[in-house]
Amino acid sequence: MLDFIIKASLRHRTLTLGFAAFCLIYGFILSRQLSVDVFPDLNRPTVHIVTELEGMAPEEIEVAVSRPVETAVNGAPGITRVYSSSATGISVVRVEFEWNTDLKSARVNIAERLGAIKSRLPHAAVPTLTPTSSIMGEIQMIGLSADDPSFDLMKLRTIAEWELRPILLSIPGVAQATVIGGDQEQVQILMNPIELQKRLMTPKDLADRLVNLSSATGGGFVTKGDKEWLIRNIGRVSNFEGIGETPIGTHLGRPILLKDVASVQKAPAPKRGDASVNGRLGVILMVQKQNTADTLVLTKEIDTRLANFRKTLPQGVSLEGDLFKQSDFIEAAIGNVMEALRDGTIIVTIILFLFLLNIRTTLITLTAIPLSLLITAIAFHYLGIGINTMTLGGLAVAIGELVDDAIVDVENVFRRLGENKLKDKPEPILRVIYKASSEVRNSIVLATVIVILVFVPLFALPGLEGRLFTPIGVAYVISILASLVVSITVTPVLCYFLLGKSKNVPEHDTVLVKILKNIDRKVLNKTLEKPLIILGFSLILFLGVTTLIPLMGRDFLPPFNEGSAMVEASVKAGISLEASSELAMKIERAILTVPEVKSTGRRTGRAEEDDHAAGVNHSEWEVALKRSDRTREEVFNDIRAKVKAALPPDAYFSLSQPISHRLDHLLSGVKAQVAIKLFGPDLRVLRQQGAEVRNTIAEVKGIVDLQMEGQSLFPQYKIFLMRSDLGKYGIVPGDAITSLELMLQGMPVTRIVEQDRFVDVYVRLEEKFRRSIDDIKKLSVHVLPTGRPIRVEEVADVFETSGPNMIERENLRRRIAISFNTAGRDIDSTVNEVKERLAESIKLPDGYSLEFDGQYESQKTAIRMVTLLGALSILGIFLVLAINFRSIFIAFQIMLNIPLALIGAVLAVYFTDRTFSVATLIAFITLCGISSRNGIMMISHYLHLMKEEGEPFSKEMIIRGSLERLVPVLMTASTAMLALTPLLFAKGEPGKEILHPVAVVIVSGLLSSTILDILVTPAVFFRFGRKAAERTVNRSNDELEGSI
Amino acid sequence: MKTAILMTTLVLSFTTPVLASDDHNHEAAVEAAPHGGTLRNAGDHKAEIVIEGDKLKLYVYDKALKPIKMEKAELKGNVQFPKEKSKPIIFKKSGEFYEALVKGISKTHRYDMHVNLEIGSKKTLVDFGIDNI
């Protein structure tokens, strides 16, 4: 089959080159159209359902909204987990589906189920599915602020919400633009309870009469003759000044106007979130993209629209378009990886030229790089894969190997043409090229099959880890396969055109090759005599480095360098929004004193309709940084110190980076390695048992960052209606509750249209009547027919207490989580000890249970899967080699290269980062494939010499074979190594964070494998391989033959 | 004189808690407690009440939430239910904490509890506002 392809390509040379040219052009065009993003699509199909009920406590939200919504959606096809968070005024239910679930049909299913329970939810509760996006979908943060601090924040919010937001939402690809900060304009009808009482009215009576405050209806048609007139009944309020004149009923025959019982004003709406820009109060818009949108293209479009919008802003209002921009990191990262690709290509060119000292051979070999890359781009297009740091990383790792197949082919053709020249009766050029290509095609294909086999475990990596890392493998394998195709089609044809008729085909080796061969000959003469010493030395080295493995740390991903920072801070729950915002401003001003800080955007609490249910005690800052001489660590330490000094001592804060922070959320939901989730019905028992779990494991060696998640308590006043007291006055509890809600929280009664925007009209009690709990106790909750008001304290027990600020539920059960990381001890033994201690000390009440979860669990599953498939893959490689060479010994001998490579790789990791991450694991996988190649090439050639040239199994044959294979072995190894040097010296540069450890492992592993391979393979083969080699040669005499 | 002191002590021990419960002016318990219960300030110390149904456990700490050794075998106090007379309560020492059992206490919607602590030579009153809603 392969011989046929080589033969057909050489026969149809013009067609082959034409097809290659087509691939180049088509691939180039398609590569420009591939979507560009920071990471591959990591979104597990998830639907968020947000329901807002202003002012309601988490306990009420949980009962009234979260539980009915969870119950309704649970059981929809493909659901894996249902989470809910109930906080003050908001319920967020997160429904996770199996990977590969169609999100559109999942959303339809959820929407249908929500429709069915609408009547069971509170009247004001409207569950909303948030637009399809993800945490990684937050692509840009835009800030609006005024130079003059007295600028009306209501005006600023109106500009953001009614002018800028519609522009952003109209851009194709934008899923959502969340607005936070400033003041939302509201028409407020502030009731006076004394005036209401005088007219025997309750707050509820007033609210009922205001429902149709501003409305319009249709009146049908009036027809006269052949004409008709449409009738409109208009009762709409067009300006708020007229609202006070609205008649709301009569008392003792006299009309009552709204202004008699209430004052009407335009004022800021109550809010649960605030924002600032560069230390000034302002409004922030967070733009989320749709899943399929190209971040770079979309950001460019947003910037264009922002530039136009900026011109329309009132004087003194400034717009910051890049408080956070994901595209900045993408551009820097992609640019850096492209730079690594470019530098790698230049280095490969130099290496090739140094070895071959021939422009034509260098040119033929180099053709493999663009051709393989652009064929990969075509494959990407049809497989729906985009450009991101992972796929580009796969290509960057492969760049040195893309020329390997071509090198092996060109080197062999080049040498055979040279030999042919020296013959008395030279063979036809085409036949020489065919035979030379056919001679090496076996080892080329075998090496490629092994490279693919070693990547099989990576493709099976489950969950998000798989989503993140599989694209590296996909890009690598596709490009390597493309290079194989190029090496057996285009390379032989180019050899014919560029080398066939060339007079420059050398009859002798170049100077560099001569020197290398002389050294190798001397080394071989010594090592072939002492194979056991060589083998023993290698074994000691290998065993030595394996002892270093337990000394190294483990991490999921190397840290990114995003060029920006993210600060989060939480103070004790119970702080008011105003106080929290003031404290946040102080912190922001402190952050701004760090010289590298370019801009800051701060959010405190949450925005309306935001699925991030943060309390008002929580603030986060996106900090854009500019480059300086200081390292990232120095700048971060500076920020950390400033924030710490500005915060109260019992506050919590963390400093991370925006994209890493979002990735952490995506990976596990909790940032810790291990989470112990405690489930049960009673919050108090959960809190108490959670504390006992925390106390039990606190002293376990290796545990750090131990904390109990959420459920911190915040102060509450509870107005508990006493039914026996209500009964005395004949008050229906529901009426009393509605009156209390109306007076204290307020209710939207209608909306009025002003110009082209809607303004909510709220009814609430005038503030002077509800300033303190004592005022509230004296409020009238009901008016008896005699005119006697019934005060709150007469029918209710009013007391101060505390309650949870957030209630978390998972799969329909309440839960709290106790999380921790490990340090100085391996995670497995730490978790085992934790499990033992809990089994000894914790006796959970009936109905309560605990589960282990967190990154550790997913990593454990991933590592178990990779280990299992890794073992299968090694078995697969062994079988492929054994079947191909028809010898178990030869298969073993080739696989000996893997531990040889691991020696250098483990040593390098130990002396650099001293940390194993998933990136390192991938590098080890890659290394197994690449290092096997050297052994295959060397041993195939020994067998070729015995079969084709009748050489006996002798020391001379081993030396000859080794020397003839020295050049391709050194060339392939040095190109693969040196192509990665741009990544080797780029630790921490944007986009290269994951690739740097990959480069460290591959370069060092290849170095040790190549050096040791030159010593070990010939010596071991010479000492132990005679029988296997002779048996293989005798069994497959026709293995390498072919003709044209 | 002795009778006067005794009478004053008795009157104070009953009236002070009642007055306190009327005002509810103690701070809300928002600090994370070592055993997940309700934590309150008690002079120079802190006390935590952990409720397990009708069983109440009382822990006493210093300001840094380190457990302190208490010598007394029992602690006295009272429980005040809304719109009812207060009832006495006795906590008995049980290892590192004090324990009391009040039948039916978990069924009421809320209650205030006042416990007299004697730490060394200092006497302190600690108030807990507990609700079961």
* pLDDT, position A133: 66
Tell me how far apart the alpha carbons of residues A814 and A829 are, in angstroms, rounded to a whole number: 29
| Residues A692, B35: C-beta atoms closer than 8 Å | yes
Chain B interface test: which of A717, A797, A816, A818 (most B C-beta within 10 Å):
A797
Q: How far is B51 from chain A (nearest CA, A)?
A: 8
Q: Is A217 in CB contact (< 8 Å) with chain B? A: no
- Residue with the larger pLDDT of the pair A70 and A136: A70
| Residues B34, A695: C-beta atoms closer than 8 Å | yes
Region of poorest pLDDT, from A726-735, A830-839, A959-968: A959-968
Q: Is B64 in CB contact (< 8 Å) with chain A? A: no
pLDDT of A53 above 80: yes
The whole-model pTM stands at 0.76
- Residue with the larger pLDDT of the pair A169 and A828: A169
Q: Is A671 in CB contact (< 8 Å) with chain B? A: no
Q: What is the pLDDT of residues A840-871, one digit of tens each?
A: 999 999 999 999 887 677 777 777 777 788 78
- Residue with the larger pLDDT of the pair A349 and A1043: A349
| Residues B30, A573: C-beta atoms closer than 8 Å | yes
pLDDT of A239 above 60: yes
pLDDT of A1041 above 50: no
- What's the rounded mean pLDDT across residues A656-665? 74
Of A168, A396, A202, give the one whose Cα is nearest residue A287.
A168
Chain B interface test: which of A800, A807, A841, A846 (most B C-beta within 10 Å):
A800
The residues, any chain, with a CB within 8 Å of residue A735's CB and separated by 6 or more, are A202, A204, A782
| Token pair in block for residue B120 | 């060394």
| Residues B26, A690: C-beta atoms closer than 8 Å | no
Give the rounded percent of residues in chain A with a pLDDT score beyond 70. Answer: 95
* pLDDT, position A472: 85
- Residue with the larger pLDDT of the pair A502 and A995: A995
> Which band of pLDDT confidence, cut at 50, 70 and 90, is reported for residue A570?
confident
The residues, any chain, with a CB within 8 Å of residue A443's CB and separated by 6 or more, are A408, A933, A936, A937, A940
Q: What is the secondary structure of A980-1027 as a DSSP string? A: THHHHT-TT-TTTTTHHHHHHHHHHHHHHHHHHHHHHHHHHHHHH-HH
pLDDT of B15 above 60: no
Q: What is the pLDDT of residues A411-430, one digit of tens each?
A: 888 888 888 887 788 888 88
| Residues A799, B83: C-beta atoms closer than 8 Å | no
Q: Is A242 in CB contact (< 8 Å) with chain B? A: no
Name the strand (E) or helix (H) holding A377: helix A359-383
Strands (E), A693-740: 703-708, 713-721
| Residues B30, A720: C-beta atoms closer than 8 Å | no
Q: What is the pLDDT of residues A151-196, one digit of tens each?
A: 889 999 999 999 999 999 999 999 889 999 999 888 999 999 889 8
Give the rounded percent of residues in chain A with a pLDDT score beyond 90. Answer: 32
Q: Is B2 in CB contact (< 8 Å) with chain A? A: no
Cα A538 to its chain centre, rounded Å, is 41
In chain A, which residues have their Cβ closer than 8 Å to the Cβ of B127?
none
Q: How far is A733 from chain B (nearest CA, A)?
A: 17
Which residue in chain B is spatially nearest to A845 when comparing CA positions?
B52
> Which band of pLDDT confidence, cut at 50, 70 and 90, is reported for residue A322?
confident
- What's the rounded mean pLDDT across residues A80-97? 91
Nearest CB to A712 within list B32, B83, B109? B32
In chain A, which residues have their Cβ closer than 8 Å to the Cβ of B129?
799-801
pLDDT of B24 above 50: no
* pLDDT, position A220: 92
* pLDDT, position A170: 95
Q: Kindly report the average pLDDT of chain A as a whole number.
A: 86
> Which band of pLDDT confidence, cut at 50, 70 and 90, is reported for residue B11?
very low
pLDDT of B7 above 50: no
pLDDT of A839 above 90: yes
Q: What is the pLDDT of residues A442-496, one digit of tens each?
A: 778 888 888 888 887 778 777 777 887 788 889 989 999 999 999 889 999 998 8
pLDDT of A502 above 90: no
- Residue with the larger pLDDT of the pair A111 and A333: A111
Which residue in chain A is spatially nearest to B131 when comparing CA positions?
A801
* pLDDT, position A134: 64
pLDDT of A623 above 50: yes
* pLDDT, position A991: 66
CB A822 within 8 A of CB A674: yes
Q: How far is A607 from chain B (nearest CA, A)?
A: 25
Which residue in chain B is spatially nearest to A713 when comparing CA positions?
B30
Q: How far is A686 from chain B (nearest CA, A)?
A: 8
Q: Is A695 in CB contact (< 8 Å) with chain B? A: yes
Burial of A636 (0-12, 13-18, 19+ CB in 10 A): buried
Tell me how far apart the alpha carbons of residues A268 and A185 are, in angstroms, rounded to a whole number: 5
> Which band of pLDDT confidence, cut at 50, 70 and 90, is reported for residue A999?
confident
Helix axes A918-948, A888-895, angle to 10 degrees: 130
Q: How far is B29 from chain A (nearest CA, A)?
A: 6
Of A153, A117, A127, give the one whose Cα is nearest residue A273.
A153
pLDDT of A649 above 90: no
Q: What is the pLDDT of residues A505-556, one digit of tens each?
A: 555 677 788 888 889 899 888 888 888 888 888 889 999 988 888 777 666 6
| Residues A708, B31: C-beta atoms closer than 8 Å | no
CB A673 within 8 A of CB A557: no
Place of tokens 């001890």: A825
Tell me how far apart the alpha carbons of residues A893 and A897 are, in angstroms, rounded to a whole number: 8
* pLDDT, position A669: 55
* pLDDT, position A614: 78
Q: Is B35 in CB contact (< 8 Å) with chain A? A: yes
Region of poorest pLDDT, from A340-354, A554-568, B14-28: B14-28
Q: Is A985 in CB contact (< 8 Å) with chain B? A: no
Q: What is the pLDDT of residues A273-320, one digit of tens each?
A: 999 999 999 999 999 988 778 888 899 999 999 999 999 999 889 999
Nearest CB to A688 within list B26, B36, B133? B36
Name the strand (E) or helix (H) holding A418: helix A404-422
Nearest CB to B34 within list A689, A691, A715? A691
| Token pair in block for residue A175 | 């899923």
In chain B, which residues have their Cβ closer than 8 Å to the Cβ of A572?
30-31
Q: How far is A718 from chain B (nearest CA, A)?
A: 9
* pLDDT, position B131: 87
Q: What is the pLDDT of residues A352-396, one digit of tens each?
A: 788 777 888 888 888 888 899 999 999 999 988 888 878 887 887
Q: What is the pLDDT of residues A749-774, one digit of tens each?
A: 888 877 777 888 889 999 899 999 99
Q: What is the secondary structure of A463-485 as a DSSP string? A: HHHHHHHHHHHHHHHHHHHHHHH
| Residues A799, B24: C-beta atoms closer than 8 Å | yes
Q: Is B34 in CB contact (< 8 Å) with chain A? A: yes
Q: Is B58 in CB contact (< 8 Å) with chain A? A: no
> Which band of pLDDT confidence, cut at 50, 70 and 90, is reported for residue B23?
very low
Tell me how far apart the alpha carbons of residues A222 and A220 are, in angstroms, rounded to a whole number: 7
Region of poorest pLDDT, from A194-208, A497-511, A632-646, A698-712: A497-511
| In A36-142, alpha helices (H) | 58-61, 67-73, 103-116
| Residues B35, A691: C-beta atoms closer than 8 Å | yes
